[in-house]
A and B are shown apart, each in its own frame.
Chain A
Amino acid sequence: EVQLVESGGGLVQPGGSLRLSCAASGFTFSDHYMDWVRQAPGKGLEWVARIRNKADSYTTEYAASVKGRFTISRDDSKNSLYLQINSLKTEDTAMYYCTRDYDKWGQGTLVTVSS
């Protein structure tokens, strides 16, 4: 069974940093592109970032709203996806989901940015 389990969320002050993780199991993680999608409280879904697989040189894409502040990465040896989020703003407050090919989704990890 495919499983994606996010962790690393929490309460952080504006300007702070967090590293989110997504542990994958039940499939060959290294074969797949992976994405992060977020959802602010009571709002719609917003795509954040994508990382391709080794065959496509681990290249990345970002939403304009996070480019330069967020970094997506992966460790295929650990079946894990990461999102380093820096210079946090209050508008980054959201549930962050990892997703495999927009097919399988984790349960999300909540990031709250507040002083």
Chain B
Amino acid sequence: DIQMTQSPSSLSASVGDRVTITCRTSQGIRNDLGWYQQKPGKAPKRLIYAASSLQSGVPSRFSGSGSGTEFTLTISSLQPEDFATYYCLQHNSYPRTFGQGTKVDIK
């Protein structure tokens, strides 16, 4: 199984801050990774696919980078609606595995 190490597990930030979340995988997965945002009581929403492609309709302040075993989600200027939990998902092999999640809350 591919192990996912997502960090940090939580962070406190202010509106306007630049935020970076990292996922590391135990083996190379090319760019077979997506980033998701989840708000309480809601389904996950995909932000980034193929590691760096912005999902249609998602604000351009979200960006993804990386390939192989290290991946990053960046929010360039945090907005009030961005306070949520973020997950990475690898879909390179089975079983699919998610990162443990990063909760972004208000500082």
Q: Which residues of A contact B (CB under 8 A)?
A: 35, 37, 44-47, 50, 61-64, 97, 102-103, 105-108
Contact = CB atoms under 8 A, between A and B. Distances in A.
Contacts of B97: 47
B87 to A, nearest CB: 6
Interface stretch (B19-27, B40-48, B60-68): B40-48
Contacts of A103: 46, 49, 55
A108 B95 CA distance: 21
Main secondary structure on chain A at its contact with chain B? strand
A44 B6 CA distance: 12
B30 interface: no
26 contacts: A37-B44, A44-B87, A44-B100, A44-B101, A45-B36, A45-B38, A45-B44, A45-B98, A46-B98, A47-B95, A47-B98, A50-B94, A50-B96, A61-B95, A62-B95, A64-B95, A97-B43, A102-B34, A102-B46, A102-B49, A102-B91, A102-B96, A105-B44, A107-B42, A107-B43, A108-B43
B89 interface: yes
A62 B95 CA distance: 7
Contacts of A63: 95
What 5 pairs between A and B have smallest CB-CB spacing?
A47-B96, A105-B43, A45-B98, A61-B94, A44-B101
Nearest to B100: A44
Contacts of A37: 44
A63 B1 CA distance: 10
Given A44-B98, A45-B98, A61-B95, A102 B43 contact: no
Nearest to A98: B43
A35 B95 CA distance: 12
A44 B38 CA distance: 10
A105 B100 CA distance: 19
A105 B45 contact: yes
B88 to A, nearest CB: 10
Contacts of A105: 43-45
